[in-house]
Amino acid sequence: MRPAFSHIHTWLRSRTPASRMANLGIFVLLTLLIHFGFRWWAYEADYQIFGVTLITLDFLEAMGSVVFRQARWMVMELSGIDARVVGQIMYMPDGGGVAVDGSCSGLKQMLQFVLLLLPLPGPYRTKLWFIPLGLLMIHLMNVLRVYGLCLVMLWDPPSFQLFHDYLFRPLFYILIFGLWLWWTERLRPAPFRG
């Protein structure tokens, strides 16, 4: 006799409309738990678990610096915009600037993706290529987000906060949802029906 959990597990993998809605609910619930858990871990626990610091501010700043350098290349080299760089701030020709620091690193979104995917059923060999691919896609989305914010600062500076908080940030969640959907619908095997 199989435990009740295995019946639930099989049902969630069955790809019926009801199981797909349940999976969507699980995605939303886990996304919210990870979001608020990360905020607590970052702002209340200072990235520590049991007194051990897992992420340092230097690490976050280094990640933010990578994003900044790649976005700077897109702004100045790819687009030919004559931006002035001071530290990790790009000032557009009309004076408005976009600062990139450790909080712009994309770490939260990367951790969220990994924490959403690891417990999902499926072959670990597939996860070994899918997780790095997803992390790369999240990083590229972040670089494009900073690049887009620079363009907003150039063309419509009063709209910067709107784009930063409400238009570009949700793109991360759309990408993470798309990757999760790709995994649940295409890459993980269907349950055995024997």
Q: Give the pLDDT confidence of 60-115 residue by residue, as tens digits.
A: 999 999 999 999 999 999 999 999 999 999 999 987 999 999 999 999 999 999 99
Coil, strand or helix: which one is 61?
helix
Mean pLDDT of the region 157-174 = 93
Distances (CA, A) of 57 to 79, 103, 108, 169: 31, 9, 14, 22
Amino acid at 29: L
Per-residue model confidence (pLDDT) at position 1 = 45
Q: Where are the domains of the chain?
A: 55-187
- Contact (Cβ atoms closer than 8 angstroms) between residue 120 and residue 73: no
Per-residue model confidence (pLDDT) at position 3 = 58
Check pLDDT > 90 for residue 7.
no
Per-residue model confidence (pLDDT) at position 122 = 82
Check pLDDT > 50 for residue 24.
yes
Q: What is the 3-state secondary structure (H, E, C) of 90-149?
A: EECCCCCEEECCHHHCCHHHHHHHHHHHCCCCCCHHHHHHHHHHHHHHHHHHHHHHHHHH
Check pLDDT > 50 for residue 2.
yes
| pTM of the full structure | 0.86
Best-predicted range by mean pLDDT (8-12, 20-24, 122-126): 122-126
Distances (CA, A) of 92 to 99, 141, 150, 152: 11, 21, 7, 10
Distance linking the first and last C-alpha atoms of the chain: 16
Check pLDDT > 80 for residue 16.
no
Separation of alpha carbons 186 and 53, rounded Å: 37
Tell me the per-residue pLDDT of 114-158, one tens digit each, with 9 for 90 and over. Answer: 999 988 888 889 999 999 999 999 999 999 999 999 999 999 999
* Closest of 150, 135, 60 to residue 105, by C-alpha: 60
- Contact (Cβ atoms closer than 8 angstroms) between residue 149 and residue 74: no
Burial class of residue 187 in the structure, from the number of CB atoms within 10 Å of its CB (0-12 exposed, 13-18 middle, 19+ buried): middle
